Structure 1
Amino acid sequence: MGVWQLLMAGGVMLLGLLGVLLPGVPGRLLVWAAVLWWAMHELSGAAWALLMGATAVLLIIQVIVWLLPPRRLRGVAVTRRTALYAGVGALVGFVVLPVVGAVPGFIGGIYVCERRRLGGHGQAKASTRAAMRAAGTSVLVELFGCLLVVAAWVAVVLGT
């Protein structure tokens, strides 16, 4: 597989990660489709193992999201800017402290956005708590699963 094809697969995965944060965009599906496309062109044992693992992880994530309480966004100021800060925080946390850093990074991103918007620590803390109760948990679970799949793909690509 050529460099351009790898970059295209990585770009689709990046779009999928961003899609997790935007309502109505099938982020998980984009990440899975990029892994499928890559595995169909790679045709190695590692590629097929990664595809099976990615499928299992994303299906488990789907079940977990279904089991979580429904999102209650009314009355909570969860904006696109908040989602962007949370996503960037999760990505930075995932890179700084692999795998487990995504959770504190996600929450920290929401807090930073709310602190900039509201000004005070107490108000930002309360707003972050409300945002996590409303929609943050399901988005965090979905983003974490997609980040695991992308990290595994990067590891397999760099390992071959």
Structure 2
Amino acid sequence: MSVWGEVVVGLVILVGIAGVIVPILPGVILIFAAIAAWAFLTGGTTAWTVLAIASVALIISGVVKYTWPGRKMREAGVSNKALLAGAILGVIGFFVIPIVGLFIGFVLGVYLAELYRLKTNRLAWPATLHALKGVGLSMLVELFGALIAAGVWLTGAVFV
């Protein structure tokens, strides 16, 4: 692959990392697609090994992203209905208020669902904070996997 091709792959990986941080773009999919295209076009044992290691990192972070924070939120007493309400209002908020609407809608959805369920602000707000911590942890886990995949690709690109 030419130097310019590798620059394009690197830029797509950076956009993917940005998509992990700001969930507007499908970050992990972009990272995987860029590394897979690079491996296919480059060929060779090193390129395929890089793709395999990056894929494992992205898959493991994807599994951990959904299991670890979910367990923490269940232990804190956050209901699944509250998370669903947060997700629905988050999507609506994304279209109503660009960029920050996703965050505002999620917080509002979780808070209103927990307020309805628990009947008091004293209990609903801490549950909402636990949900936010869980989402933050989920994003950090996904970012960690994305950075590992990017680092593996960069190492492989240097040595190919």
Query: Taking structure 2 as the reference length, what is the TM-score of the superposition?
Result: 0.60
1:6-25 equivalence runs, <5 A? 6-25=6-25
- Residue in 2 aligned with 1:135? 135
Task: Provide the aligned C-alpha RMSD in A.
Answer: 2.4
The offset of 1:3, in angstroms, is 1.0
1:79-158 equivalence runs, <5 A? 133-158=133-158
Distance 1:145 1:135 in 2: 16
Distance 1:52 1:159 in 2: 16
Cα deviation digits, residues 16-58 of structure 1 (max 9, x gap)? 0000011242111110000000001001100001111111111
Identify if the C-alpha distance between structure 1 residues 49 and 16 changes in structure 2 by more than 3 Å, giving closer, same or farther: same
* Higher RCO (CA-CA < 8 Å; seq separation 6+): 2
- How many residues get paired? 108
Distance 1:158 1:132 in 2: 39
Specify every segment of 5 or more residues in structure 2 that has no aligned partner in the other structure, as ranges: 74-82, 88-98, 101-128
Distance 1:150 1:41 in 2: 17
The offset of 1:135, in angstroms, is 2.2
The offset of 1:69, in angstroms, is 3.2
Q: Which amino acid aligns with 1:31?
A: I
- Residue in 1 aligned with 2:28? 28
The offset of 1:61, in angstroms, is 1.0
Query: Taking structure 1 as the reference length, what is the TM-score of the superposition?
Result: 0.60
Specify every segment of 5 or more residues in structure 1 that has no aligned partner in the other structure, as ranges: 75-79, 82-128
